[in-house]
Amino acid sequence: MSEFDFEPVHGLPENLPDGEVLRWQGAPRWGALAVRALHVRKVALYFGLLILFRVVYVLSAGDPVSNALLSASWLAALATLAAAILGILAWLYSRSTVYSITDRRIVIRCGVAIPIAVNIPFKVIESAGLRRYSDGIGDIPLVLGGGQSVNYLIMWPNVRPWRFFNAQPMLRCIPDVDRAAEILTAALRAAVGSEATDGEGRQSETTSRADAAGQAGGGRSPQVNADPLPSR
């Protein structure tokens, strides 16, 4: 039994309200997360250079190859341990993270030790981007408006790298990111259209009241960029 067995809906902290529809769910690919978020390749390269330097140093001192390899064995063991730890962390992050897109919001459930669920309503999303890798895996960063923000440390690795201030939540290392982007774009467009329609209705009603009371009013739709997500 895991801490997620008590979720009423997989990846969501509670049942969706009446009328809200779940459009898509996904999770980061752990291998891509290990490479692009935890930089396991760079760590392996670093240790590889250390091992090479150690072997060359011992050989330059006149020792045989066997001694050189033996002297570098502890570095190889340390490199294997580091890569294994990063791989396990990536697997844990992938296992504990679920991205959900409904017709009203994005929900990011994450957290290895302490699971949390972050709700991002469409009305606070100013724009969304798309970064696609050659293997079809990609990222969708979200720019928030309306004074909304997320905590970089709590949300990591589900944030855009190196944006410590005004952190941008991100759907990271998603398989088939193009499909997720299309679904999100369609949901954002539908949400903006719905808000615009409601706003027109409210404006018409308010204007009628203003004509009677000598006041003016109007509706306002959220500033959401609902254009197709650009590849960056």
Question: What pLDDT score does 230 carry?
Answer: 39
The answer to whether residues 58 and 140 belong to one domain is no
CATH number at residue 179: 2.30.29.30
Is 155 part of any domain? Answer: yes
Q: Which domain, by its residues, includes 77? A: 40-93
Is 112 part of any domain? Answer: yes
How many domains does the chain fold into? 2
Where helices occur in the chain by DSSP H, the ranges are 30-36, 40-60, 65-96, 152-155, 177-213
Chosen domain end from 49, 78, 93: 93
The answer to whether residues 64 and 124 belong to one domain is no
The answer to whether residues 85 and 155 belong to one domain is no
Question: Helix, strand, or coil here: 128?
Answer: strand
Q: Are the C-beta atoms of residues 137 and 32 closer than 8 Å to each other?
A: yes
Query: 3-state DSSP: the chain helix, strand, coil percent, rounded to 5?
Result: 45, 20, 35
Q: How many CA atoms lie within 13 A of 123 on its CB side?
A: 7
What is the Cα–Cα distance from 87 to 44, expressed in whole angstroms? Answer: 12
Is 189 part of any domain? Answer: yes
Chosen domain end from 54, 76, 93: 93
Question: What pLDDT score does 109 carry?
Answer: 94
Helix axes 40-60, 65-96, angle to 10 degrees: 170
The answer to whether residues 153 and 88 belong to one domain is no
Question: What pLDDT score does 179 carry?
Answer: 94
- b/e burial code for range 124-143 (CB count within 10 A of at least 16 → b): bbebbbbbbeeeebbbbbbb
Is 35 part of any domain? Answer: no
The answer to whether residues 58 and 159 belong to one domain is no
* Cβ atoms within 10 Å of 205's Cβ, excluding its own: 12
The answer to whether residues 81 and 132 belong to one domain is no
CA distances from 89 to 43, 86, 98 (A): 14, 5, 16
What is the enclosing helix (H) or strand (E) of 22?
Answer: strand 22-26
Q: Are the C-beta atoms of residues 94 and 30 closer than 8 Å to each other?
A: yes
Question: What pLDDT score does 200 carry?
Answer: 53
Is 52 part of any domain? Answer: yes
Q: Which residue has the tokens 């930089």?
A: 39
The answer to whether residues 143 and 231 belong to one domain is yes
The answer to whether residues 7 and 82 belong to one domain is no
Q: Which two tokens stand for residue 48?
A: 């590889």
The answer to whether residues 17 and 83 belong to one domain is no
Question: What pLDDT score does 196 carry?
Answer: 58
* Total-model pTM: 0.79
The answer to whether residues 195 and 87 belong to one domain is no
Is 33 part of any domain? Answer: no
Is 84 part of any domain? Answer: yes
The answer to whether residues 208 and 194 belong to one domain is yes
* pLDDT digit string (tens) for the chain, length 232 residues: 455 556 788 888 888 899 899 999 999 999 999 999 999 999 999 999 999 999 998 888 887 888 888 888 999 999 999 999 999 999 999 999 999 999 999 999 999 888 899 999 999 999 999 999 988 899 999 999 878 889 999 999 999 998 888 899 999 999 989 999 999 999 998 887 776 556 555 544 433 333 433 333 333 333 333 334 433 3
The answer to whether residues 148 and 76 belong to one domain is no
Is 34 part of any domain? Answer: no
